Structures are given as C-alpha cells and as structure tokens.
Amino acid sequence: MPAPTDPAARRAYELDRAHVFHSWSAQGALDPMVVTRAEGSYVWDGDGRRYLDFSSQLVNTNIGHQHPKVVAAIKAQADVLCTIGPPYANTARSEAARLIAERAPEGLNKVFFTNAGAEAVENAVRMARLHTGRQKVLSTYRSYHGATTTAINLTGDPRRWPNEFGNAGFVHFFGPFLYRSPFHATTEAEECARALEHLEQVITFEGPGTIAAIILETVPGTAGIMPPPPGYLAGVRELCDRHGIVYIADEVMAGFGRTGTWFAVDHYDVTPDLITFAKGVNSGYVPLGGVIISDAIAATFDERVFPGGLTYSGHPLACAAAVATIEAMTEERIVEHAAELGERVIGPRLREMAERHPVIGDVRGLGVFWALDLVVDRETKEPLAPYGGSSPAIAELMGAAKKAGLLLFNNYHRIHVVPPCTISEAELEEGLAILDEVLSLADAHTTVGAVV
Ligand code: PMP
C-alpha cells in the first residue's frame, strides 16, 4: 500500500515507522495501514477508504466496532472512576464477574481478571499447579495460547520455536484433526478414539502424578479452527478426573459468542475446571481477560493465599465495557445471530465455493469462526504455504482482497473467515463475493490450475 496522502494519516504512518516496534514482525519491511475510524463491520484508512473487517481485528471485535452502548458505558465509567486497585470492590468489576459466571458452565462461579489472554493462561496454569502440587502441563501441537513465557511454551504452533528459552514442564501431544489426521484415521469416531488413546499414553509415559493440567482450546483458533469430534472433550474430562489433572479450556478466542454459544464448551457438554477468556468479553474496547474458576479450585485459596496479582486486575473501564458488551449481546441476541449465520450462510457458502475452487482443501468451523485450508493439491493435501511459513500465493490473495476492500485473517496456508458476530447478511455476502473472486488467483497456484 502507498503511504497515505492525508497529512494527519501520513504523520501517523511516519511516526509509526520511526518509533513503533510491532508484534511478530521483522521491523524493516513493515507497511502498516493507518486506521482512522471504525463502525460496525467496517474500518476506514487514512485516505478515507472503507474496508469490511472479516478478521474482527485479531478475532476480538465480536460485537463489531464502536457499539454505541459499549462506548457510552466506557464514557460513563470514565466520568466517575477510571482506575481502582485490585483489593477494592467496585460495581463494574462485581457486575462483570456476575455476568460472566452466570454464562459459564455450572460450578464455575469466580472470576480472576487479567488484562488479556496470555495473562489468563499464565494464571490458570499457576492455579492448577498450586491446586495439584504438580508441575507439568500438557497442550496440543496445533494450538496458540499467548506470547508470555508460560503461554508461548504451551503454544504448539511454530511461534513457540524461537521462544523456547529452556523452561521445564511443558509437554505437547496431538489433538484430533481428521483432515490431516496424525493417527491415519478416516472417520471422526476413529480420530476421536485414537486421539484419546494417544493422550492416555502420553499421560502414562509422563507420569500421571507429575501432571498439573491439560490445556486445550475448545475449538483451536489460530492453529486452524478445528472443531473436535463428538466425544473427544468428554474423553479428556474423564482422563483428567481419573488422574486428578486440572482441565483448562482456553476460550480466549472461541468464547463470548464466536462459535454461536456463549462458550464453545456449550457445544460439547463438558465442564472444565478453569476457563480462560479475553477478546470477545468486551470486544477489546479496553484490554480485559481472565480465568473462570471452579468452586473446588477456588476453595483451595479460601485459607491459603493466592500468590498472584496484577495492578490492573478488573480495571473499571474494561469491566464497564464487559458489562455493556454482555448485556447488549444478550438483549440483541447476537450469540444466536452468530450461530444462525454460521449454519445458514457461512458454512453453506464456503462449501459451495470449495466445489468451484480447487485451492480449497477443507472447510471447517461453526458460528462466525471458519477456516479455509488452502492446498496445492487436494489429493496430497500439500498446504499452499509451508507449516510455519508464508507463500507468494497467499500474499497475492491477501493483497487483492485488501485492494477490493476486504480485510482477512491469514495464518500460514489458511484463510479464516471470522467477521464480527454482529455482521449483517448483506455485509457477509459482500465479503464472501470478494473472497470468492480472490480465491481464483490462488487456484492458479494449484496443480489443477485456474478453473473458470
Ligand atoms: N489463547 C488463545 C486461544 C488465543 O487465541 C490467544 C490470542 N490469539 C491467546 C490465548 C493470547 O491472548 P492475548 O493475545 O490477549 O494475550
């Protein structure tokens, strides 16, 4: 993209290049788009061009941009109390905790607030270790749990590789993923059974008495949006119960409406011991995350001190935003809307595109949480970009989408369709039409070649 011509936007761009150090990037080659405003499903760049946001930023604006009730709640809170330390009680924090606990599975009634997802993971692991008196934590290879030291070591995705500085106690295993089955399974039932057998063996060989927790994204997100087969999470719950292991469900991305239910575990009828959340809880209008805690684990700390805390735990502006977000999502039936869009529009439309575009190897998802697995060859399932890498074909597709006014989320060889839960059907169709068009560019990079 050329630098903006509008003087204020151009200054933002130049100052960014001079002074801002960006996440997950080689700093030299960056060319960030200047965003000056946003509303609903759209954002505007420095020269006034409008883009449909099919990425929900980093899959966090579940309620869309600038929802008026949430903006008003932040302003109202700012007028009376902008900050208060963790030892005090405060209406915004208490009400946010109540609304979250009321939507969580039964038996999880307390909330520890953090500023974001990685800190939630850090504290869930700390709670599990203190509760069990054990050290090891098991997680899947196809996962992302955040970028702090513990969270990145638990992450299985290649972003872990340059970040392993020698911390002990993190063990990875294979979760179920039928499309690229690590177990050579051909049916969901087979994948489920073999994945559970594999996990049981990992537990046996690691030593059940050394394992504090298993952490699982209920529906793994950045690693590929892979809804688990029926019965898998119930099997994990049973293994955890049998061995006294804490089951942590990481719902930082999948929670708060993204999958068409308040929490993704609602689809699978399981109750974890701890749930981590962030993103959708207030759509990221003010940073907020946390851990929802089972009564049994919370009771561990009735007499014993919980040795952890954050200056901004339960920040009033963030909690006021959470209260307004959850209330608006409830009143406006936004979670139901997300479920309906996934079932009636997104799933069918993406599957129909897969029939026409040889580059689409697999379509997976639910709610407003979908992935296209792009391949060079459908038979071999060779990914369009290498694991952990990028490809010119993907860069071309992403660039063309942006030029046509569509922001997409891409990870390695996948395109994720993750718009706000509030997106209208007309907006969705507008974005899907652009996606359909730019997928033709990627088709040209398959063994079959372009199909018109
Ligand atoms: N867990 C999951 C499942 C995530 O998707 C993310 C962020 N993408 C995190 C944890 C980390 O959250 P944050 O970036 O807010 O620290």
Please state the ipTM of this predicted complex: 0.99
Residue 450 has pLDDT above 70, yes or no: no
Distance 289 CA to ligand 1 centre (A): 9
* Average pLDDT estimate for 326-344: 98
Q: What is the pLDDT of residues 282-297, one digit of tens each?
A: 999 999 999 999 999 9
Share above pLDDT 90 across residues of the chain, in percent, rounded to a whole number: 96
Mean pLDDT of 166-183: 95
The structure tokens listed for 156 are 């299985």
Copy the structure tokens of residue 350.
């993406």
Are the beta carbons of 445 and 376 closer than 8 angstroms?
yes
* Exposure of 29 in the CB half-sphere (CA atoms within 13 A): 3
Residue 220 in tokens: 């793994």
Give pLDDT, residue 401: 98
DSSP character at residue 446: S
Q: How do residues 4-59 score in pLDDT, each as one tens digit?
A: 999 999 999 999 999 999 999 999 989 999 999 999 999 999 999 999 999 999 99
How far apart are the CA of 360 and the centre of ligand 1, in A? Answer: 26
Confidence of residue 367 (pLDDT cuts 50, 70, 90): very high
Q: Which two tokens stand for residue 341?
A: 């869009």
For residues 343 and 31, what is the distance between their CA atoms, to the nearest angstrom? 37
Is the pLDDT at 451 greater than 80? The verdict is no
Query: How far, in Å, is the centroid of ligand 1 from the Cα of 285?
Result: 16
- Give 389's pLDDT tier (boundaries 50, 70, 90): confident
pLDDT average, residue stretch 213-220? 98
CB of 113 closer than 8 Å to CB of 288:
yes
Ligand 1 pocket member 319 (CB < 6 A) = no
Is residue 199 within 8 A of residue 171, CB to CB? The reply is no
Q: Which atom of ligand 1 is nearest to the CA of 59?
A: 8
Cβ of 251 less than 6 Å from ligand 1: no
| CA gap 117, 403 in Å, rounded | 31
**Which among 423, 420, 306, 434 is positioned nearest to 55, based on CA atoms?**
420
Please say whether the beta carbons of 115 and 312 come within 8 A: yes
- 142 DSSP assignment: S
List the residue whose alpha carbon is closest to atom 1 of ligand 1.
Answer: 145
Residue 2: pLDDT above 90? no
Buried b (16+ CB within 10 A) or exposed e, 416-439: bbbbbbbbeeebbebbbebbeebb
Rg (CA), the chain: 22
pLDDT above 50 for 403: yes
Using DSSP, state whether 168 is helix, strand or coil: coil
From residue 272, alpha-carbon distances to 202, 236, 297, 397 in Å are 20, 10, 11, 39
Per residue in 137-158, pLDDT (tens digit) is: 999 999 999 999 999 999 999 9
Q: Give me ligand 1 centre to Cα 149, in Å.
A: 13
CATH fold for domain 68-331:
Aspartate Aminotransferase; domain 2 (3.40.640)
Q: What are phi and psi of 94, to 5 degrees?
A: -65, -45
Number of H helices, E strands in the chain: 14, 16
Atom of ligand 1 nearest to the CA of 289: 15
Tokens linked to 126: 């700390």
Q: By percentage, how much of the chain surpasses pLDDT 70?
A: 99
Q: How far is the CA of 273 from the centre of ligand 1 (A)?
A: 19
The structure's pTM equals: 0.97
Bridge partners, 172 (sequence order): 139
Q: Is 255 in the pocket of ligand 1 (CB under 6 A)?
A: no
Taking phi over 0 as left and psi of -120 to 50 as alpha, with beta for the rest, 143 belongs to beta
Q: Is 35 helix (H, G, I), strand (E, B) or coil?
A: strand
Ligand 1 atom 5 nearest Cα: 253
Helix runs in 258-315, H state only? 295-303
Residue 246 makes CB contacts below 8 A (sequence gap 6+) with: 127, 128, 131, 132, 212, 213, 214, 240, 273, 274, 297
For the chain, domain boundaries = 33-66+333-443, 68-331
Report residue 452's pLDDT band, with 50, 70 and 90 as the boundaries: very low
* SS3 label, residue 36: strand
Q: How confident is the model at residue 388 (pLDDT cuts 50, 70, 90)?
A: confident
Residue 415 pLDDT = 97
CA separation for the pair 297, 131 (Å, rounded): 6
- Output the CATH code of domain 33-66+333-443: 3.90.1150.10
pLDDT at 300 exceeding the cut of 90: yes
- Strand partners for 410: 415
pLDDT one-digit tens code per residue, 268-284: 999 999 999 999 999 99
Mean pLDDT of 394-423: 97
Mutate to test the pocket of ligand 1, among 140, 279, 285, 312 (most ligand atoms within 8 A of CB): 279
Assigned token pair, 29:
């080659």
How far is the centre of ligand 1, averaged over its atoms, from the C-alpha of 438 (Å)? 28
Write out 51-108 in H/E/C secondary structure: EEECCHHHHCCCCCECCHHHHHHHHHHHHHCCCCCCCCCCHHHHHHHHHHHHHCCCCE
Ligand 1 centre from 290 Cα, in Å? 11
- Ligand 1: which of 123, 252, 259, 310 to mutate, most ligand atoms within 8 Å of CB? 252
Question: Does residue 168 register a pLDDT over 90?
Answer: no
